[in-house]
Structure 1
Amino acid sequence: MGFLAIPWRRFRRFVLPLRCLLCNASGEHDIDLCSACAAELPRNSSCCARCALPLAVPAALCGECLRSQPPWDAAWAPFRYGWPLDRLESRYKFSSDLAAGRVLSTLWQRERPPLNLPQLLLTVPLHRSRLRRRGYNQALELARPLARSLGLPLRHDALLRRRSTTAQTELDAIARRRNVHGAFVLREGVALPAHVAILDDVMTTGATLAECARVLRRGGVQRIDVWALARAPSRRNE
């Protein structure tokens, strides 16, 4: 067999053997993650059907969604934001570790998607100033392979972030809502289908996704789902 005929995955294993990004053991199952570390990934198997908040006891809706329903219809977040996924996410998002991004993307593709798939997948946009600093939109890079695997069209330019906002990381829930209020607009002239999903890498309080959903609702979208790789638990559920 000639050099060029060697399948890419086999060639990559030969030149760069799989290595776990967390503990440096041998990677397994075509991913740079060992079985022991993969087994520690916190799956979000018991969560609110409306906002994907992790729950200690299975329930249809969490208390917050019972009190005030979010501006979207359903949520999908297959993982909880916790060890060791949070370490991979931090390396990918803040340290430009694209190898960690590939692991996260592969993990997401291997999870069972919702039965009712949207007609279009959108991503939460970055402001151009932050995009220049970071060099890439982490949500978009996760969305591209996921959209391909699900056979869904993807648009990264339908929603625009019209002003730069403070990083949400250190803000509480109220400050997060104020921070992103009015930050997004729908691109002029864009036509959207009746059912879309907005994708982000991590959903914490849901303030950013909620603001995007309100813009889409005003634009005439009938059903809006929110997708995130991981959902952060509230302090009451940790």
Structure 2
Amino acid sequence: MVDKWLINAQTWWLPPRCQLCGARGDDGQDICHPCRLELPWRGPGCWRCGEVLTEEGCCGRCQHDPPAFEQSYAVFDYAEPVGHLIHELKFNARLHVARLLGELMAQDLAARVVELPDLLIPVPLHARRIRQRGFNQSVELGRFVARGLGVAMLRDGCRRLRATAPQVGKSAQARRRNLVAAFGVNADVAGQRVALLDDVMTTGSTADLLAQTLKRAGARHVQVWVCARAARRV
């Protein structure tokens, strides 16, 4: 892990280099213009949950059973090469990838979010998972999103009350069961507009339950910002 942190540290003073093709980065970022154009930018979708639609609107599921959060923004589809970049960040500790993805998120959100929140809160990991991984990828992304948008980030605004099994591969119903009573709030969010930030959203179960927890703590509005939106499992 120490070697990985040293490798990541070296990237902060080296010239920008495209993370995808190795060419010189453009506009001070670690990506070139041609590769940026090839990224799987998110298309039309449900303004509430982010489900893919043929045009912007509210999907039938959210009309009949809306989540606790009022709005969600996904910057990318969970497809290559973004899926690879997120994997490298989470499982190979390539923390400089968080800078690239976080900066791209901030630029996209700046053009789309109508009203910025008062607080940005990363989706928390359990302490056991942080010890294993060494960091919370949502916090690392959040640093650059918060900086780019000028929004205050509370890195420990929410907490995991218990360790949960990985969500990968679970249905929406199984994900919700897995997360029952899993979250708490550390901060005073009464009357605040909050944005939850995560790397990937699939069914929205994590965001929904966290939003419920924040609403019980007094938050008046919750939106969700994610780097990538994956296809929903039934």
Q: Shorter-chain TM-score: what band?
A: 0.7 to 0.9
Q: Deviations over 1:13-48 (max 9, x none)?
A: 9x7343322222332222222222211111113111
The answer on whether the counterparts of 1:120 and 1:154 sit within 8 Å (CA) in structure 2 is yes
Q: Give the stretch that moved more between structures: 205-214 or 145-154.
A: 145-154
Q: 1:79: Cα distance to partner? A: 1.5
The DSSP-based 3-state class of the residue aligned with 1:168 is coil
Aligned equivalents of 1:32 and 1:66: distance in 2? 40
Distance in 1 of aligned mates of 2:17 and 2:26: 8
- 2:33 pairs with 1:39: no
Matched length: 222
2:105 maps to which of 103, 108, 111: 108
Matches within 5 A, 1:86-105: 86-105=83-102
Cα deviation, 1:100-128, whole Å, max 9, x if unaligned, reads 22211121122124011111111111110
How many Å separate the matches in 1 of 2:103 and 2:189?
A: 30
Counterpart among 217, 224, 234 of residue 232 in structure 2: 234
Q: Which sections of structure 1, spanning at least 5 residues, go unmatched?
A: 1-11
Q: Does 1:123 align with 2:136?
A: no
Asked if 1:29 is matched to 2:13, the reply is: no
Partners of 2:233 and 2:177 lie apart in 1 by 21
Q: Provide the identity percentage.
A: 40
Structure 1 residue 191: Cα displacement:
4.4
Question: Cα deviations across residues 155-192 of structure 1 (Å, max 9, x unaligned)?
Answer: 122211010011111222111111111100123x7343
Q: Secondary structure at the match of 2:197?
A: strand
User: In the superposition, relative to structure 1, how do residues 104 and 66 fare at CA in structure 2: closer, same or farther (>3 Å)?
Assistant: same
**Counterpart of 1:148?**
147
* Contact in 1 for aligned 2:99/2:144 (Cα 8 Å): no
What pairs with 1:19-98 in structure 2 (closer than 5 Å)?
19-55=17-53, 57-98=54-95
CA displacement at 1:235 relative to structure 2: 6.6
Q: Is the 8 A contact 2:19 2:31 kept in 1?
A: yes
Choose 1 or 2 for highest CA Rg: 1
Q: Give distance in 2, aligned partners of 1:73 and 1:210.
A: 10
Contact preservation (8 Å) 1:201, 1:229: yes
The alpha-carbon distance between structure 1 residues 17 and 144, as it changes in their structure 2 partners (threshold 3 A), is closer
- Give distance in 2, aligned partners of 1:235 and 1:26: 38
Q: Contact 1:44 / 1:77 at 8 angstroms: preserved in 2?
A: yes
- SS across alignment from 2:140: helix
**Aligned CA distance change for structure 1 residues 235 and 205 (closer, same or farther; 3 Å):** closer
CA-based RMSD of the aligned residues comes to 2.0
C-alpha contact (below 8 Å) 2:171/2:233 kept by paired residues:
no
